[in-house]
Structure 1
Amino acid sequence: MPLDPTLFGEIDPPQRLLMGPGPVNAHPRVLRAMSADLLGQFDPEMTGYMNQVMALYRPIFGTANRWTMLIDGTARAAIEASLVSLVAPGDRVLVVNFGRFGLLLTEILSRIGAVIETVDAPWGETVPMEAIAAAIERTAPKLVACVHGDTSTTMAQPLDGLGDLCRAAGALSYVDATATIGGMEIAADRWGVDIVTGGLQKCLGGPSGSAPITISDAAAEHIFARRHTEAGIRMAGLEDGAGPRIGSNYFDLAMIMDYWSEKRLNHHTEATSMLYAARECARIVLGEGLDARYARHAAAGRAMTAGLRAMGLTVFGADATRMTNVTGVHIPHGVDGEAIRRMMREAFEIEIGTAFGPLAGQIWRIGAMGYNAMRHKVLLTLGALEACLLREGFALPPGKAVAAAMEAWG
């Protein structure tokens, strides 16, 4: 029998304050931009917006790269497009691994058929550049891949000098900046890295579903040369399934780059509303000013950390390399972490994050990024957490957290 449409009402989600590791609440200007009328993908107005997006994201990535654009899909779409397009089966890749999302890189690379090497740090630390240099010398990789800010551990990997190490070894480099773009400095050109990817749903203050990417000339040359090599193999009738062919059509960067080039070669139908969202995210970031935006995120992280410590809680990981926009905090002994998260959500409409891997059940992850990296939202979150902990019987000095956070914000 046909489904009665009245069984499901109009979508009306609760107005929840998302203070976890992402996604976060989208900026109202971004949501308004998404409601604009659709255009055909080759309409001159539409391709003009595409060109504007490319220009807007160059300063956000800290680059002059011509190939700065969007991948349609969540942040992971850009990660996979980068790795699938750079790496052929049998290529040796070094992964800088200090958390769950370094492990994600190895999982994607294993599906490609890469030979994977890792240089590791315990969760809560980052990998010293000297260790990365030694690993590059030891493994002679074709690609070095790493995460900038890993929300699973709340640590940010220092990247100055990485590009020099890679170029000296004849390797390309890839950086996943999903969790930091728009909130911490991204310096693709100064770092000297070849591909950096991001996502809208964290510090950029948009919805998940569009992934900014920037590609160096060296990486672009490699990607296009690989396509020509594959074409030659197919024309010669030599392909046996084990060659360097890119295993994805949708994530083939050479084809996507043609779509974003002056040639406008059809590849897919651009996600128009998501492009509007990405464009408005960038306009908001640049309108605020990069330095001011990074300072706001640093103030939010500093205030959150001060407030948590004033409650008598222990912040996770090293202060020197902590992300400014996500803070891990140990769940006190004897406290049911999930009961606190549920109370925060049900009583205060505030969401904070749990953890996974070796930190599952050990820490909460509390974010303050994008539209939510605001003083009053940090203070509301700390006040709610204090109230929930007190209700669960955890002894803490009432009122100290908010006061400490206000002082730390400056």
Structure 2
Amino acid sequence: MTPMFPVLDMPQRLLMGAGPCNVHPRVLRAMACDVIGQMDPEMTGCMDETAELYRQVFRTKNHHTLLIDGSARAAIEAALVSLITPGMNVVVLRIGRFGLLLTEIVTRCGGVVCAVDVPWGEVVPPDRVRDAIVEHRPELLVCVHGDTSTTTAQPLAEIGAVCREHNVLFYVDATATLGGMPFETDAWGIDVATAGLQKCLGGPPGSAPITMSERAVAQIMARRHDEAGIRNPDAPQGAGPVIRSNYFDLAMLINYWSPERINHHTEATSMLYAAREAALIAVEEGMDARWARHARASRAMVAGLLAMDLSVYGDDATRMANVTGVVVPEGCDPIRVRTLMRTEFEIEIVSSFGPLAGKIWRIGAMGVNATKPKVLQTLGAFEAVLAGEGVAVTRGAAVDAARAAWGAE
């Protein structure tokens, strides 16, 4: 019988956009390990090892560090649906599209959004954070560390101190930065942080690490205990607010990852293997060395782009180390350039969203792709495409500048 579809054979493309990036070969090999039962001692041992590895990646001593089965957004939703009660004031720092995503999820959870907005490409200064907390008296403040839509990273250390001063829980979405930029959960006073595998950690999308402080866990557990319909399953509908999700209920997931292993769901075994291997690779490299490698790749990428007389978007002081925005030259077709990069060189770069859609390209260098050969390959192809499209560039300048910026090995 002739098969309805051909055997799956996806192209081998160099993913130099804003994520996902190419998956580390060791992670792919780990995912080929056999599936075993979720309560098998080898399986629960793997869960414990994964939790310990992510404590090192997050730079935390938090006991409650685990995985959410789903992409990075699954962990965001788990955090917010478990922390927010209807009517709760939540300060949301918005520096780009993903701050707007946090707004949507907070609203869906019944929280009252107290937004602090800045123009895209800028960050929120600590004094504005303090003013918002004093004005709105929130129980929770949420923000994105690196918003890939604007290629901008929000400084966090002072915000954590302000939150602690006013007894406000501090949640950070570190999807785009964990493993590629300095991230200090404990030192910066972060109560809950979430991420994904598919960016700087060099894994596939589908598993989302999360870490929670003791004071965050205390609120999560107290809320679950007190809310009608959870404490008393026979309570009539409308008797009081309930946690809206079973799958994303962090209280249940904490118990699932505890020594008691209270069953909650069937663990995504192959994704657990991937998450463990991605974290092990990061820890073996060393977090400081890994951050330095991403910063070096960013410097080389920026140097190459500037050597082509292109404009780099954003402020040097707050630019992400793993995604660089490039202003589209006047008269250039941004979609055609992206298409030629993909069809002629098998390299993916991407556009942006909202007010930046069609105005910048975003070129990433993260995870296994934050290396000198991948940066030089991307710049060489980009230069060739732009020259072919009539953009005035000095041929060879980008690669030469990037090599010089990278420096001696």
Give the drift of 1:231: 5.2
For residue 159 of structure 2, the aligned residue among 148, 158, 162 is 162
Return the alpha-carbon distance in structure 2 between the equivalents of residues 47 and 369 of structure 1. Answer: 30
TM-score (norm 2): 0.97
- 1:194 and 2:191 are equivalent in the alignment: yes
2:259 corresponding residue in structure 1: 262
2:97 corresponding residue in structure 1: 100
For residue 290 of structure 2, the aligned residue among 282, 285, 293 is 293
1:326 corresponding residue in structure 2: 323
Return the alpha-carbon distance in structure 2 between the equivalents of residues 349 and 383 of structure 1. Answer: 13
Return the alpha-carbon distance in structure 2 between the equivalents of residues 242 and 189 of structure 1. Answer: 38
SS at match of 2:395: coil
Give the drift of 1:173: 1.1
Contact 2:228–2:241 at 8 Å: present in 1 too? no
- 1:205 and 2:202 are equivalent in the alignment: yes
Contact 1:226–1:244 at 8 Å: present in 2 too? no
2:361 corresponding residue in structure 1: 364
Give the drift of 1:163: 2.1
1:130 corresponding residue in structure 2: 127
Q: Structure 2: which 5+ residue stretches go unaligned?
A: none
Return the alpha-carbon distance in structure 2 between the equivalents of residues 273 and 63 of structure 1. Answer: 25
Kindly provide the amino acid, as one letter, of the partner of residue 297 in structure 1.
H
SS at match of 1:10: coil
Return the alpha-carbon distance in structure 2 between the equivalents of residues 48 and 155 of structure 1. Answer: 38
Kindly provide the amino acid, as one letter, of the partner of residue 126 in structure 2.
M
SS at match of 1:119: strand
Kindly provide the amino acid, as one letter, of the partner of residue 51 in structure 1.
D
Contact 2:228–2:235 at 8 Å: present in 1 too? no
SS at match of 2:187: helix
Kindly provide the amino acid, as one letter, of the partner of residue 125 in structure 2.
P
- 1:173 and 2:174 are equivalent in the alignment: no
Kindly provide the amino acid, as one letter, of the partner of residue 94 in structure 1.
V
1:338 corresponding residue in structure 2: 335
Structure 1 vs Structure 2 CA RMSD: 1.3
Return the alpha-carbon distance in structure 1 between the equivalents of residues 76 and 402 of structure 2. Answer: 35
For residue 217 of structure 2, the aligned residue among 197, 220, 229 is 220
Contact 2:65–2:209 at 8 Å: present in 1 too? yes
- 1:275 and 2:272 are equivalent in the alignment: yes
Return the alpha-carbon distance in structure 1 between the equivalents of residues 4 and 331 of structure 2. Answer: 43
- 1:28 and 2:13 are equivalent in the alignment: no
Give the drift of 1:167: 2.2
Contact 2:229–2:240 at 8 Å: present in 1 too? no
For residue 374 of structure 1, the aligned residue among 365, 371, 376 is 371
Kindly provide the amino acid, as one letter, of the partner of residue 21 in structure 1.
A
In the TM superposition, 1:242-257 aligns within 5 A as 243-257=240-254
Give the drift of 1:397: 0.9
Contact 2:176–2:199 at 8 Å: present in 1 too? yes
Kindly provide the amino acid, as one letter, of the partner of residue 148 in structure 2.
T
Give the drift of 1:252: 0.3
Contact 2:51–2:66 at 8 Å: present in 1 too? yes
Return the alpha-carbon distance in structure 1 between the equivalents of residues 377 and 90 of structure 2. Answer: 44
Contact 1:233–1:239 at 8 Å: present in 2 too? no
Listed one character per residue, the Cα deviations across residues 131-173 of structure 1 (whole Å, up to 9, x for unaligned) are 1111111111110000000000000000012222112222111
Return the alpha-carbon distance in structure 2 between the equivalents of residues 264 and 283 of structure 1. Answer: 23
TM-score (norm 1): 0.97
Listed one character per residue, the Cα deviations across residues 96-140 of structure 1 (whole Å, up to 9, x for unaligned) are 110000000000111111111011111111111111111111111
Return the alpha-carbon distance in structure 2 between the equivalents of residues 252 and 29 of structure 1. Answer: 31
Aligned residues: 407
- 1:316 and 2:290 are equivalent in the alignment: no
Contact 2:228–2:239 at 8 Å: present in 1 too? no
Contact 2:62–2:212 at 8 Å: present in 1 too? yes
Return the alpha-carbon distance in structure 2 between the equivalents of residues 352 and 7 of structure 1. Answer: 32
Q: Structure 1: which 5+ residue stretches go unaligned?
A: none
Q: 1:73 to 1:295 in 2, by over 3 A?
A: same
Return the alpha-carbon distance in structure 1 between the equivalents of residues 122 and 238 of structure 2. Answer: 41
Give the drift of 1:186: 1.3
Listed one character per residue, the Cα deviations across residues 75-108 of structure 1 (whole Å, up to 9, x for unaligned) are 0000000000000111110001100000000001
